[in-house]
Amino acid sequence: MDVAAIRREFPILRERIPGRDGKDHALRFFDHAASTHAPEPVVRALVDFLTTSYANVHRGAHHLSERATDRFEHARERVKSFVGAPSDREAVFVMNTTQALSLASHVACSLHDGPVLSTRLEHHSNLLPHASHGSRGEVQFSEASPWYGRVEMIRVTEEGRIDLERLEERLRQRPKPRLLALSCASNVTGVKTPIKEVLEHAQDARVPVLLDGAQILAHEKLDFSRLPGGGPDYFAAAGHKAYAPLGSAALVAKRSLLDQAPPWMPGGGTVKLVLDEEILWADSPDRHEGGTPNVPGAVAFAAALDFLERVGMEEAERREMRLFAKLLRGLSEIPEVRMLGPHTAKERVGVVSFSLGRWSPAAMATALNAEHGVAVRHGCFCAHPYLMELLGVHAGPFIEEIRRGGSTSAPGVPGAVRASLGVYNDDADVEALLDAVRALAARKPDSGYAWKGDQETWVPIPAQA
């Protein structure tokens, strides 16, 4: 499918963004790394489920409950088939990537001992769950050591990539990690992990692997069946970053591991039998799906994966890389721009974070939206250790300010702006973003906006009459 045809499938692109000058702008959306929009087929699948099949699953013999169950289980198979998971893997539906990572951490930490090996490049959702499980509650932070509780972070290179040599070396050392948890692609710089190589080394060392697939699912076709050992032991990803609505995600993991661990969220649906003297837990996936699941979300997730396959993942990846190279080239030609991480598109997905002279990231994001209809994200992107490393700053001076209740969007707080590409972005989008950044670069930093501490936001300063 060409990009014009893809764009016609997204109702959100008909929206106009009100500008501060009273004019409307076309939507230039570069926040796909946070959440993506639903195309028509996904909206239709959702509406169809709500209007023809809506009922709770598993616990009813009536027609609608059976229909809902069929569609829910079909969605489960679809998630597994999309990633080429072998038959010994199960998919557990959860709400978001954070829950999928937390479930994997719960299973791994219930079954094995030792530290969790992770990297400095991770999203907090792939650090904090392990820190809490590993330390049985008390999460320790020490600036002097690379340990958070019991999570060991492998350093990154100057370019912001995982130091693979150090990772391989650590995998051979003692104490043996209970889990290697790392992302397929960074949500800050888009740098990709060489999954095949990492899996080979981890499998040699007999360390189970959890891959955080949040930033890869919609960007590159992962095929477990082509990966060493039939793929990772655990793989976490969310539908809301792959053209499904918010609230749908899955952990695809080895059934044998899921079934050995106690239920992650014990409750309705997780048992076969509850007696006074004994509880017989259900096998996975039910074992870890406590309570009523987000059935419409799972159905829409499956429809989104169908959509991605119809669009053609390889073609979409090629288009994304071409646009990404254009975006990086354009940004590198603006002298005030400082890009974080590598400066080329090689071994990355379409995500770039950057700063612009002395512009506060939050003021810049506000101006891009209000003056150009450009949607970007700003801040530290839930990856504080990585961002501080890339920016070359120490969080020390800001800790006290934040402790006192200061805002992370305030002037002077370190951060960046992030632009992330999605399947419908085109040349006009990229050109609009570059024009907008150039226009801001030509102005005094933060000009036209004032920081409102009480509202924790930047507001436009009305033009003088």
Q: Which residues ranging from 203 to 262 are in contact with ligand PLP (CB under 6 A)?
A: 212, 214-215, 238, 249
Q: Is 382 part of the annotated catalytic residue set?
A: yes
Q: Output 214 or 356, the one with its CB closest to ligand PLP.
A: 214
Q: Which is nearer to ligand PLP, 215 or 270 (CB)?
A: 215
- CB 298, CB 103: distance < 8 Å: no
- Which positions from 165 to 184 touch ligand PLP by CB under 6 A, shown as an x/- string? ------------------x-
* CB of residue 95 to ligand PLP, shortest distance in Å: 8
Which is closer to ligand PLP, CB of 186 or CB of 366? 186
Identity of the residue, 132 or 183, whose beta carbon is nearer to ligand PLP in the bound complex = 183
- Judged by beta carbon, residue 68 or residue 376, the one nearer ligand PLP is 376
Applying CB under 6 A, among 97, 119, 360, 409 the residue interacting with ligand PLP is: 97
Position 378 contacts ligand PLP (CB under 6 A):
no
| Residue 69 near ligand PLP by CB under 6 A | no
Task: Please report whether residue 104 would count as binding ligand PLP according to CB under 6 A.
Answer: no
Residue from 96, 102, 284, 353 that binds ligand PLP (CB under 6 A)? Answer: 96
187 binds ligand PLP (CB under 6 A): yes
Q: Single out the segment in contact with ligand PLP by CB under 6 A; choices: 20-28, 84-92, 93-101, 372-380.
A: 93-101
Comparison of 171 and 249: residue with beta carbon closer to ligand PLP: 249
Q: What is the closest distance, in whole angstroms, from the C-beta atom of residue 98 to ligand PLP in the complex? A: 3
Instruction: Kindly state whether residue 123 participates in binding ligand PLP, applying the rule CB under 6 A.
Output: yes
Stretch that binds ligand PLP, among 48-56, 64-72, 82-90, 118-126 (CB under 6 A): 118-126
Give the active site residue among 109, 184, 380, 382.
Answer: 382
Q: Binding ligand PLP by CB under 6 A: which of 53, 69, 119, 125?
A: 125
**Catalytic residues, which ones?**
382
Residues at the interface with ligand PLP (CB under 6 A): 33-34, 96-98, 123, 125-126, 183, 187, 212, 214-215, 238, 249
